[in-house]
Every structure is written in structure tokens, then in C-alpha cells.
């Protein structure tokens, strides 16, 4: 048991009440709560359409499908991400082409490397907004427009994060969000696909439920007595139990993120006194979700990342590592490329605790402990 865990679930009596109300309504599969969750999510992001799904992985898969990405197409994507970002490329038999990150101070994709990787077979770019901090979307959208490429935003780290006044996930052709248990919005499992394109939304909605022209809930209310199947689809639906939790979580989100911003500032202040550690995105002044707080050991540090993590665990501080580079996994080696900046950063990355209920003394204890470990 850790004295300071990596994250803390922001659940209370409100989520319990919402679940009980849904159970007592006798409708627990995709229905009115799912529709309400989608409406609330669209309103929060200022986006035209939101589609609630079983998880973010299937959201990424549907984004590929509705944007027409298929066998042999190349999709430029990050390696410093969770494997689902790249798995979705392979689900449609497309080819992942890995782009490097910008550097220790900015762990998002490098637009210069994105442009270098474009070929006649390139169909799309998938960006991942690391920790909720935005990629350089002006440059990336310029590149996409110049080469007629689709843009998918993996915004699973960034609900309500902004880039020049726009919410992440709403800038490209489609945005994908995660509601996994440790995310800013948690429903246990769950995801959302957002877009401002009605045709893309309609196609995704069709594919979400087996390619059927109507849903069970619509038929139960007398809106339709039958259905047709017009395309091979999937069972990617979210249920109303999880959607009811999501509705409550959305109401908590803004205050939770404001508190996380305060926790991050405590971290930045505390780490100003810690040498041989880099804080990525330090001084960023836009509104972000602060999903995680990652630091990098400088190359001059005498102790390895794993040694430091072990010592932190012994001090009661849980850590993680976001992420092992995807291009180095066995299954992706045939698509692998040299990504020196990603590989260097990943070998020195440590994810430290980040959640809204953290206290300033806890943050200061973490910084002091890390300092003592590095210089001990």
C-alpha cells in the first residue's frame, strides 16, 4: 500500500445515486442516459456531435473507418502513447508510420518529423495530446491541409484542454476520448467520438451498433417497429449505467481540473529546487487537464530511472511510466523506425502522482524525496 498513490478516483455518493436511479429505471443498456451524456459532452466541448462508445480504443477504430482509412494506407502516429493509438491503425490494415517527439520539454509529436514522414501513401495523422498538453495543431493542420490528410485527435488525456481557445478533440476531423478508471472522467470503461461533421457522425453511429438502422431503445418507444442492416458494424455501444456515471463526472470536471492546475503549480515550484530533473511543459499557460505529471531524469543523473522508481516506491510513493515506446514492441518491429528523441525521453520518464485531492505537503515530500534519491 502506497502512502501517496498514483491517482485517486473522484467518486462519491452522486455516482452511487446515479447508478441506482438507472437500475431502478429498468433501462440499463444504450438509452436515455447515453443520449443525455452525449448531449452534455457536446455542450461542454462546443462540438457538433458526440457518440458514446464502449471505450476509447473502439472510438479510434471507428474514426479510422469513417475517414476511409484502409489496407495499405499510411497513418503517421506517435510512439510515445498507449498502444491502443497504434492498434487502431492496424485494425483497418493500415500502416503505422512513427513520428518523433519534440524533446524533453515537449513530449508531443514533432511537426517537422511528421512532414518528413509523408509519402504518396499517407492518408492520415493521429496526434496524441500528451498529459492533456496540446500538440502544435496549427502546424499539424497546415501540413494536413497541404497534403490532403485526415487528422484524428487522440484526446484521451485532454478533456477540456484547450489550444488557442479550441477544445482538444474538436480541431481535427474526429476526436477520441477515454473514460477508463484512471482518466479525468471515469466510468470504469467507456469512450467518446466527437466531430463537427454530421455525415461522419451518422456513419459512426451506424457502425456502433451492428450497422442497424434503429436501436432497441428507439423501437421500445414506438419510434420504429423494425430495422434494416445496411453495413457490417460492431457492438461498440456504451450502456446507460456507465453513461449515468459519466453525466455526474462531467459536472465535477471543471472544478477537478482547476484543482489539478493548482497541484501542478505546486509541483513546478517544488521542482525548481530539484536538480537533474526536467519538468516537461513547464510554464505552459493554457488551460489543460493535467491528466498525469511526468518528469524526466537528465542524462547526467547517476541513477537509472528504474532505480529511482524503486526507491520512490520504498518511500511510499507510487509511480508509473507513460509510456514504453510502441515502435519497440515486438508486434510493431516490422514498422519500426529510428526515433532517437522518443527513445531517449522514454528511458528517463517517471510519472508521479497527480490527482485533485493531493496536498501541497505531499507534493513537497515527493520533490524532496526524489532530490534525496538522485543525490544520495
> Which residues carry out catalysis?
183
Give the integer Cα–Cα distance in Å for 352 and 294. Answer: 6
Give the integer Cα–Cα distance in Å for 28 and 49. Answer: 23
Give the integer Cα–Cα distance in Å for 56 and 181. Answer: 12
If you search the block for the grid coordinates 515530500, which residue do you land on?
A: 365
3-state secondary structure (DSSP) of residue 140: helix
- Evaluated on CA atoms 153, 158, 160, 161, the torsion sign reads negative
Q: Which of 178, 234, 179 is nearest to 203 (CA)?
A: 234
Q: Are 162 and 218 in contact (CB under 8 A)?
A: no
Q: Helix crossing, 84-91 with 56-66: angle to 10°?
A: 40
CA atoms within 13 A of residue 330's CA, in its CB half-sphere? 0
In Å, how far are 49, 54, 141, 205, 253 from 198, measured between CA atoms? 7, 21, 20, 10, 27
3-state secondary structure (DSSP) of residue 61: helix
- CA angle, corner 247, sides to 292 and 234, nearest 5? 85
Give the integer Cα–Cα distance in Å for 348 and 80. Answer: 13
Give the integer Cα–Cα distance in Å for 141 and 5. Answer: 38
3-state secondary structure (DSSP) of residue 334: helix
Give the integer Cα–Cα distance in Å for 128 and 46. Answer: 20
Q: Which of 63, 294, 350, 106 is nearest to 200 (CA)?
A: 63
3-state secondary structure (DSSP) of residue 255: helix
Amino acid at each position: 500500500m502506497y502512502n501517496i498513490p498514483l491517482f485517486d478516483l473522484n467518486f462519491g455518493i452522486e455516482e452511487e445515486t446515479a447508478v441506482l436511479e438507472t437500475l431502478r429505471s429498468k433501462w440499463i443498456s444504450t438509452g436515455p442516459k447515453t443520449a443525455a451524456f452525449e448531449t452534455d459532452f457536446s455542450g461542454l466541448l462546443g462540438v457538433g456531435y458526440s457518440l458514446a462508445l464502449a471505450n476509447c480504443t473502439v472510438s479510434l477504430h471507428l474514426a479510422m473507418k469513417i475517414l476511409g482509412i484502409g489496407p495499405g494506407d499510411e497513418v503517421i502516429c506517435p510512439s510515445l502513447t498507449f498502444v491502443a493509438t497504434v492498434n487502431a491503425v492496424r485494425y483497418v490494415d493500415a500502416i503505422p508510420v512513427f513520428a518523433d517527439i519534440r524533446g524533453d520539454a515537449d513530449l508531443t509529436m514533432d511537426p517537422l518529423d511528421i512532414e518528413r514522414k509523408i509519402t504518396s501513401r499517407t492518408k492520415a495523422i493521429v496526434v496524441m495530446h500528451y498529459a492533456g498538453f496540446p500538440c502544435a495543431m496549427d502546424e499539424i493542420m497546415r501540413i494536413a491541409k497541404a497534403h490532403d490528410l485526415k487528422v484524428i485527435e487522440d484526446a484521451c488525456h485532454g478533456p477540456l484542454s484547450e489550444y488557442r481557445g479550441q477544445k482538444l478533440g474538436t480541431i481535427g476531423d474526429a476526436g477520441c476520448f477515454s473514460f477508463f478508471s484512471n482518466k479525468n472522467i471515469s466510468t470504469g470503461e467507456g469512450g467518446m467520438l466527437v466531430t463537427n461533421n454530421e455525415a461522419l457522425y451518422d456513419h459512426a453511429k451506424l457502425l456502433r451498433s451492428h450497422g442497424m438502422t434503429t436501436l432497441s431503445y428507439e423501437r421500445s418507444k414506438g419510434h420504429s417497429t423494425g430495422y434494416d442492416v445496411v453495413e457490417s458494424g460492431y457492438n461498440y455501444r456504451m450502456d446507460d449505467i456507465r453513461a449515468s456515471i459519466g453525466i455526474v463526472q462531467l459536472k465535477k470536471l471543471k472544478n477537478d481540473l482547476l484543482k489539478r492546475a493548482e497541484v501542478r503549480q505546486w509541483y513546478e515550484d517544488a521542482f525548481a529546487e530539484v536538480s537533474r530533473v526536467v519538468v516537461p511543459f513547464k510554464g505552459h499557460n493554457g488551460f489543460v487537464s493535467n491528466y498525469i505529471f511526468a518528469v524526466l531524469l537528465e542524462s547526467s543523473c547517476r541513477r537509472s530511472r528504474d532505480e529511482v522508481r524503486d526507491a520512490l516506491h520504498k518511500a511510499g510513493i507510487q509511480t508509473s511510466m507513460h509510456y514504453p515506446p510502441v515502435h519497440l514492441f515486438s508486434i510493431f518491429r516490422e514498422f519500426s523506425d529510428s526515433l532517437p528523441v522518443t527513445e531517449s525521453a522514454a528511458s528517463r520518464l517517471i510519472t508521479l502522482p497527480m490527482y485533485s485531492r493531493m496536498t501541497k505537503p505531499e507534493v513537497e515530500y515527493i520533490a524532496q524525496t526524489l532530490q534525496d534519491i538522485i543525490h544520495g
